[in-house]
Amino acid sequence: MSDIDISTSKPVSTFRVRYSETDKMGIAHHSSYVLWLEMGRVEWLRSKGLSYRELDDGGVSLPVSSLNVNYKVPADFDDELDLYCELIEAKSRRFTFSYKLVRKDDNAVLVTGQTVHIPINREGQVIRCPSDWLEKLR
Amino acid sequence: MSDIDISTSKPVSTFRVRYSETDKMGIAHHSSYVLWLEMGRVEWLRSKGLSYRELDDGGVSLPVSSLNVNYKVPADFDDELDLYCELIEAKSRRFTFSYKLVRKDDNAVLVTGQTVHIPINREGQVIRCPSDWLEKLR
Amino acid sequence: MSDIDISTSKPVSTFRVRYSETDKMGIAHHSSYVLWLEMGRVEWLRSKGLSYRELDDGGVSLPVSSLNVNYKVPADFDDELDLYCELIEAKSRRFTFSYKLVRKDDNAVLVTGQTVHIPINREGQVIRCPSDWLEKLR
Amino acid sequence: MSDIDISTSKPVSTFRVRYSETDKMGIAHHSSYVLWLEMGRVEWLRSKGLSYRELDDGGVSLPVSSLNVNYKVPADFDDELDLYCELIEAKSRRFTFSYKLVRKDDNAVLVTGQTVHIPINREGQVIRCPSDWLEKLR
């Protein structure tokens, strides 16, 4: 699995853990990280000049076909987090993003993850990703 | 405000608090109740022979225009809850639902609430509610 | 109800609507705003030099006892939003916050709301808010 | 990976997709399944006479250390779903659950998944799972 080198990368998003994202254990619920990864890839795309909103409004969506998260250190309420994201595979019918979530305070790596995406149209059929998108992604 | 008499009503939904619905305070997060009220009115409609899914798929939605929740006693993880729901106003362009959430165990009233809904079409324009729906609702 | 004058106020938080915060209607789900209001009051407190995290870790929480939201214009995925927040009542046993959510793009007021909070200790008993907090709040 | 044979198993939970669990794509958001898997393992434990609430209240939690979800067919709003769950590994310091989510209507397998859990105490330290729990689990 690709490992993101945070010493040479810039976070795509920096944010704080919301109270609503915690659970009874006193830490961020494990599903909260899934929301953050999604936010991160939207920001990664924006940083490449690509608007996921425009793609989606134009009828092409990139649903998650596979999700993989490894939890190492829990995030607390109000922790400030840096999310790193990289596209590690870009085929016309398959994209893979890799993620690393780091606590700003102490540089602890909280979570690593990967998501695989398959482009679909409004009818839910698998399609090829628009070629202008593919070029920018690569 | 209308008060639901639970001695003469039947709950529209009975369910348990999920772990993901709790927060750091150790109790259900206040936004979780908002999700439950929504689930409750879908079940209330079903009990009247109305499918919100069909309405929505047919292009008529009932977004919330006003939300009001009073929190009295907190719900804990795994608590079994009875949700009561009533339609207290049904105009062609405005519906009001009232709710009461009760813990099964001790009959404690946890929350009361109200939501107001305005029918819209797919373009987001306010419309009259389909007349067959209105009749069944009344 | 107090109305926040956004021409003389500064937003406490500026953020984008996440994809996970939308629903089948194609717009932000009405519960998402509840999460944003909470984030907003945490930031409002921070702007006054108060850390909700420290208060909460110290055993004093401010659960919501009443929630009131009026939905005017829906937020779309990726919309950039300005959240305004004001404390409009600060008693030792009761706080009321007022909110206004504005779309950055066109200054449309999307939502107004209010939340009432009652200080409690770890056992869930109502307590007086710590006096140093009350002073800073006022 | 262990494959759950649904012809010889009973679902641990049957439920409907909530409106709040959908997204702009018109289907259940990929994070919703994560919430359902959690609900499923709590119910699986209950079916074995084990209360996750009691364990958690007693100071032992089972946070997720690894999450793996494969999305095959999307769930729609109001779909009735059967969740199957199995414990496929039970060591004193590591549990692995496997899941299969099936649409009641057409028996379509929507999602398969796995979660790994590490027992911790209130201080967040890894501990051995209580032996009476381990025995019942096995």
Of C16, C35, C53, the CB nearest to A77: C53
Residue D1 has pLDDT above 60, yes or no: no
Residue B129 has pLDDT above 70, yes or no: yes
Judged against a pLDDT cut of 90, whether residue B16 lies above it is answered with yes
**pTM of the entire structure?**
0.97
DSSP codes joined into one string, D68-123: EEEE-SPPPTT-EEEEEEEEEEEETTEEEEEEEEEETTT--EEEEEEEEE--B-TT
- pLDDT for C17 equals 98
Residues of C in contact with B74 (CB under 8 A): 63, 124
The amino acid sitting at C44 is W
Reply yes or no on whether the pLDDT at D45 is more than 60. Answer: yes
DSSP letter at B26?
Answer: S
pLDDT digits 0-9 by tens, D94-111:
999 999 999 999 999 999
Q: Which residue in the block uniquely carries the two structure tokens 């899941």?
A: D99
Min Cα–Cα distance to chain C from B128, Å: 18
For tokens 């990280």, the residue is A33
Q: Considering CB atoms only, which of D20, D27, D31 is closest to C29?
A: D20
Collapsed DSSP state (helix, strand, coil) of residue D69: strand
* Cβ C80 vs Cβ C29: under 8 Å: no
Q: Select the residue of A20, A24, A31 nearest B31 (Cβ to Cβ).
A: A20
Single out the residue of A101, A103, A107, A95 nearest to residue A4, CA to CA: A101
With beta carbons less than 8 A apart as the criterion, state whether B88 and B64 touch.
no
Is B38 within 8 Å of chain C by CB? yes
* D22 within 8 A of D31, measured Cβ to Cβ: no
Contact D26 C22 (CB under 8 A): no
The answer to whether B113 and B129 are in contact (CB under 8 A) is no
For D50-75, the pLDDT digits (tens) are 999 999 999 999 999 999 999 999 99
Residue B71 pLDDT exceeds 70? yes
Residue by residue, DSSP assigns chain A as -----TTS---SEEEE--GGGB-TTSSB-HHHHHHHHHHHHHHHHHHTT--HHHHHHTT-B--EEEEEEEE-SPPPTT-EEEEEEEEEEEETTEEEEEEEEEETTT--EEEEEEEEE--B-TTS-B-PPPHHHHHHH-
Please judge whether C51 and A78 are an interchain contact, meaning their C-beta atoms are less than 8 angstroms apart.
yes
Q: pLDDT value at position B101? A: 98
N residues, chain B:
138
Asked whether the beta carbons of A24 and D122 are under 8 A apart, the reply is: no
Q: What is the pLDDT of residue A2?
A: 63
Q: Cβ separation of A20 and C42 shorter than 8 Å?
A: no
pLDDT at residue D2, rounded to an integer: 63
Q: Higher pLDDT residue, C54 or D2?
A: C54
Beta carbons of C13 and C43 less than 8 angstroms apart: yes
How many angstroms separate the CA of residue A119 from the nearest CA in chain C? 16
Residues of C in contact with D26 (CB under 8 A): 24
Percent of chain C with pLDDT over 70: 99
Interface probe, candidates D34, D42, D66, chain A, greatest A C-beta count within 10 A: D34
Q: Is the pLDDT of residue C1 over 80?
A: no
pLDDT of residue A137: 86
Mean pLDDT computed over every residue of chain D: 96
Q: Please check whether residue A31 touches B, CB under 8 A.
A: yes
Question: Is residue C12 very low, low, confident or very high in pLDDT (cuts 50, 70, 90)?
Answer: very high
Residues 6+ apart with CB under 8 A from D9: D84, D86
- Non-local CB neighbours of B80 within 8 Å, separated by 6+ positions: B14, B15, B16, B103, B104, B105
**What's the confidence (pLDDT) of residue C3?**
86
**Measured distance CA(D97)–CA(C129) in Å, rounded:** 44
Tell me chain A's radius of gyration from C-alpha atoms: 15
Which residue has 């719900």 as its token pair?
Answer: B75
Instruction: Return d(Cα D22, Cα D36) in angstroms, integer.
Output: 13
Residue C71 near chain B (CB below 8 Å) = yes
How far is residue C94's CA from residue C101's CA, in Å, rounded to a whole number? 23
Q: What is the ipTM of this complex?
A: 0.96
Give the DSSP H or E segment for D129.
Answer: none
Contact with chain B for residue D71, Cβ under 8 A: no
Put simply, the chain A residues between 45 and 64 with a CB less than 8 A from any chain D CB are 56, 61, 63-64
At C89-130, the pLDDT tens digits run: 999 999 999 999 999 999 999 999 999 999 999 999 999 999
Q: Report, as an integer, the average pLDDT of C23-42.
A: 98
* Rounded CA separation B74/B108 (Å): 10
The reported pLDDT for the residue numbered C138 is 82
Q: Which two tokens stand for residue B111?
A: 């929350």
Q: Does D67 touch chain A (CB under 8 A)?
A: yes
Q: Which residues of A touch B23 (CB under 8 A)?
A: 19-20, 22-24
Q: Does D121 touch chain A (CB under 8 A)?
A: no
Write out chain C residues lying below 8 Å of D34, CB-based.
none
Please check the confidence at residue C24 and state whether its pLDDT lies above 70: yes
Using the predicted structure, report yes or no on whether residue B114 has a pLDDT greater than 90.
Answer: yes
**Is C105 part of the contact surface with chain D (CB cutoff 8 Å)?**
no
Separation between Cα atoms, residue B88 and residue C33, nearest integer Å: 25
Are residues D6 and D102 in contact, defined by beta-carbon separation less than 8 angstroms? yes
Q: Mean per-residue pLDDT for B117-130?
A: 95
Count of H helices and E strands in chain C?
3, 5
CATH code: domain B13-137 is: 3.10.129.10
Under 8 Å between Cβ of D128 and D89 = no
CB B20 within 8 A of CB A21: no
Averaged pLDDT, D16-35: 98
Structure tokens at B110: 């946890």
Return the pLDDT at A89: 95
CB contact (8 A) between residue D66 and residue A63: no
Residue D35 at interface with chain A, using a CB cutoff of 8 Å: yes
Considering only alpha carbons, which residue of chain B is nearest residue C61?
B25
Q: How many Å apart are CA D88 and CA B12, to the nearest integer?
A: 36
Phi-psi region of D26 (alpha: psi -120 to 50; beta: other; left: phi over 0): left
Low-confidence ranges of chain A (pLDDT < 50): none
Answer yes or no: are the C-beta atoms of B36 and B83 closer than 8 Å: yes
**Which of D49, D67, D70, D66 shows the shortest CA–CA distance to D3?**
D70
Contact with chain B for residue D32, Cβ under 8 A: no
